[in-house]
Amino acid sequence: MECRKFDLKLISATNLRDVREKFRMKVYAVVTIAGNAKTEKRTPVDKEGETNPTWNVTLQYMIGELAVQNEGIEVVITLYCKRTLGDRYIGEVRTSIKQLYEQHPNVNGGGANILTRQVQSSSGISQGELKFSFGFGETVII
């Protein structure tokens, strides 16, 4: 099976909607590939940035070459506010792996490119911006 390394670095978010009435926002991100729970990875909770969290965390995946060729396979980055009585959804960013690969061919072979995307609520309203970088490795056979 042909695969390639996919590195996703979650850098920061800005101007997020404040979902707390009291206390500070403590934001973390959950990343999945194609919504598959087996691919779920999380960032640490940012306890200082409130509506402008910073993580600088790199998440590494091995993805099949077919995922790079399929328009429907997305990276889903969901932002949550950590709370004692249950975490609260802030919004998410969805982007196609194929589009990332095709639009940014200079990132092949381990390079990286920084993007900023709008964080969307479940109703499609913009909730701020997410800054991340990504890179693809060479194809390997597993």
Between 56 and 64, residue with greater pLDDT: 56
**What share of the chain has pLDDT > 70, as a percent?**
94
Ramachandran quadrant class, 98 (left: phi over 0; alpha: psi -120 to 50; beta: rest) = alpha
Residue 83 has pLDDT above 80, yes or no: yes
The per-residue pLDDT of the chain, averaged, comes to 89
Decide which of 3.30.390.10, 1.20.120.330, 3.40.50.300, 2.60.40.150 is the CATH code for 2-141. Answer: 2.60.40.150
Per-residue confidence band for 55, with pLDDT thresholds at 50, 70 and 90: very high
Q: Concatenated DSSP letters for the chain?
A: -EEEEEEEEEEEEES-----SSS---EEEEEEETT-GGG-EEPPPBSS-TTS-EEEEEEEEEEEHHHHH-TT-EEEEEEEE--TT--EEEEEEEEEHHHHHHH-GGGBTS--EEEEEEEE-TTS-EEEEEEEEEEEEEEEE-
Domain boundaries, the chain: 2-141
Rounded average pLDDT over 116-121: 94
For the entire predicted model, the pTM comes to 0.90
Short-list 114, 115, 92, CA closest to 27 = 92
Question: pLDDT tier at 108 (50, 70, 90 boundaries)?
Answer: low
In order, the DSSP letters of 77-94 are: EEEEE--TT--EEEEEEE
